[in-house]
Structure 1
Amino acid sequence: MNRLPRKIAIVTGASRPNGIGAAVCRELASRGADIFFTHYASYDHELGFSDADSGYPDLLAEELRALGVRASHASLDLSDPAAPERLLDQISEELGQPEVLVNNATHSIDIDYLALGADNLDPHYYVNLRGTALLSTAFAKRLDNHRGGRIINLTSGQDRGPMPGNLAYAATKGAVSAFTVSLAAELASKRITVNAVDPGPTATGWMTPELEAHLLTRFPMGRIGQPEDAAKLIAFLASDDAAWITGQIIHSDGGFR
């Protein structure tokens, strides 16, 4: 379905083949959007993801171009406050003015109250909240009132219940939900919609077999969420068909309990 013809989309955090970011890139490209994606392999390596190979971004870009769209990418550290403007300048030079922004990049390290400190809280804040906020507002400032646009953030259901043992992530991603709702109200007059997607636990390579077996019992549909599940919803929110949807936190998690 060519539902996003000639639109230019930014997708942050597309470092790994089986990640949500890569799935979003593929889905948007399959619908006709040109893609500029970012990646930050050193973070993936820090977490022990062996598939975060430095050559993967080039392979993903080739895969997207094979779908008949333009595709480019850059390594981006969103903890750098200057990164958003630098990224938008590069995209404008290479592809043009983007109209879709998917804030998928995240920083997540398990931290409980005994371990929480400024040294591990700050990196979560820098990427998850400050990076999302600065990139979203810089993106919105460059769009005129006639073109409209789409901002889609990723959350993890922090407004639905506690996440003990993951305090820094829960706090900063929960703040993204609050930011989404208020930013949507500010940008409505510019015809820019702002929504957030909570995909629930998704099989992107982080689950141990034991954890996956446990989580499976909490999915009434009898399967774990896949990156493509989130990507299809995000592609819809990026389309003109979703022009009346804004300020929403959408829990698309297969009924996860």
Structure 2
Amino acid sequence: MYYLNDKTAIITGVSHDKGIGAEICRRFAKEGADIFFTHWSADIDWPESFQKEIKNYGVRCNHAEIDLSHPDAAAHIMDRVSAVMNFPQILINNAAHSVRDSYKELNAKILDDTYAVNMRSTFLLCTEFARRLKDMKNASGRIINMTSGQALGPMVNELAYAATKGAISAFTVSLSAELAPLGITVNAINPGPTDTGWMTGEIKEQLLPKFLSGRMGKPEDAARLAAFLASEEAQWITGQILNSEGGFLRS
């Protein structure tokens, strides 16, 4: 187990119980990290209920409904966290916007909406986090971005999503070189197809034979890897895109 005692973590895109973001919150809380999570369009009572669940691990937890498409969202999140908790040492960019598209449907609005959340908010959160952490004495930090394995094969009918997630991978590598001298690591996780509630029975039937490990990906798989990357054990790992797919065959 990789202990995160006395750490504060921001996790974006935590809007339902079965998601990767929710499982990362649980895993980090189990290991002693205080949690600040953001959500959008969640069921009305769910964030409060989830906050209570996380607090039951004996850590502090706060949350906010944040529209990440807003240009000032990154600064707002950092201000909000700093006002109610210790300044965070861990940033998990988990939020994502996705719609089904293809060359027939793709238009400027789909691109702009997807870019605003997947790229702009992620990039600005990373840089705002790093600038503020840089000013703190003897501070080190962890940035973990979520991507989707665009370099491993095509994502048909998800052109805008694939393009923006691919940009996150490129950004992760370049930013890691700038932040390494500051003691801030920057990595990305590709969890592969993960059963977070979106898969129909038909989709599961199609995907399961492609998992050489014999099961579907679970949110817990991504959460375990995120906990490792956030730990001191991973201080020598930066600029990496980790494909954690259980041997998933893309061909």
TM-score range, shorter chain: over 0.9
TM-score by length of structure 1 reads: 0.95
1:223 corresponds in structure 2 to 215
**Secondary structure of the corresponding residue to residue 152 of structure 2:** coil
What is the CA–CA distance in structure 2 between the aligned matches of 1:243 and 1:2, rounded to whole Å? 12
User: What amino acid is the match of 1:245?
Assistant: I
What is the CA–CA distance in structure 1 between the aligned matches of 2:49 and 2:227, rounded to whole Å? 21
1:97 corresponds in structure 2 to 87
What is the CA–CA distance in structure 1 between the aligned matches of 2:2 and 2:56, rounded to whole Å? 15
Whether the 8 Å CA contact 1:2–1:32 is kept in 2: the answer is: no
What is the CA–CA distance in structure 2 between the aligned matches of 1:110 and 1:154, rounded to whole Å? 19
CA deviation digits over 1:19-52, x for unaligned, max 9? 00000000000000000000001xxxxxxxxxx4
From 82, 103, 107, the equivalent of 2:72 is 82
Please, which moves more after superposition, 158-167 or 26-35? 158-167
What is the CA–CA distance in structure 2 between the aligned matches of 1:158 and 1:113, rounded to whole Å? 17
User: What amino acid is the match of 1:135?
Assistant: L
2:107 corresponds in structure 1 to 117
User: What amino acid is the match of 2:39?
Assistant: H
Whether the 8 Å CA contact 2:2–2:233 is kept in 1: the answer is: no
**Secondary structure of the corresponding residue to residue 223 of structure 1:** coil
Whether the 8 Å CA contact 2:25–2:35 is kept in 1: the answer is: yes
Q: CA deviation at 1:114?
A: 1.0
**Secondary structure of the corresponding residue to residue 143 of structure 1:** helix
User: What amino acid is the match of 2:230?
Assistant: A
Structure 1 alignment gaps of length 5 or more:
42-51
Following superposition of structure 1 onto structure 2, how do residues 58-207 of structure 1 map, counting pairs within 5 Å? 58-144=48-134, 146-207=138-199
Q: What's the C-alpha RMSD, in Å, of the aligned pairs?
A: 0.9
User: Would you identify which runs of 4 or more consecutive aligned residues in structure 1 move more than 4 Å?
Assistant: none
Residue 254 (structure 1) aligned with residue 246 (structure 2): yes
Whether the 8 Å CA contact 1:2–1:30 is kept in 2: the answer is: no
Q: CA deviation at 1:221?
A: 1.0
Whether the 8 Å CA contact 1:151–1:195 is kept in 2: the answer is: yes
**Secondary structure of the corresponding residue to residue 180 of structure 1:** helix
CA deviation digits over 1:225-250, x for unaligned, max 9? 00011000001101111000000000
Structure 2 alignment gaps of length 5 or more:
none
User: What amino acid is the match of 1:207?
Assistant: M
**Secondary structure of the corresponding residue to residue 73 of structure 1:** strand
What is the CA–CA distance in structure 1 between the aligned matches of 2:86 and 2:152, rounded to whole Å? 38
Please, which moves more after superposition, 189-198 or 145-154? 145-154
What is the CA–CA distance in structure 1 between the aligned matches of 2:168 and 2:77, rounded to whole Å? 21
User: What amino acid is the match of 1:166?
Assistant: E
What is the CA–CA distance in structure 2 between the aligned matches of 1:96 and 1:146, rounded to whole Å? 15
2:29 corresponds in structure 1 to 29
Whether the 8 Å CA contact 2:2–2:231 is kept in 1: the answer is: no
Aligned-residue identity in percent: 56
What is the CA–CA distance in structure 1 between the aligned matches of 2:44 and 2:204, rounded to whole Å? 28
What is the CA–CA distance in structure 1 between the aligned matches of 2:237 and 2:67, rounded to whole Å? 30
2:38 corresponds in structure 1 to 38
Residue 236 (structure 1) aligned with residue 231 (structure 2): no
- Report the number of matched residues: 247
TM-score by length of structure 2 reads: 0.97
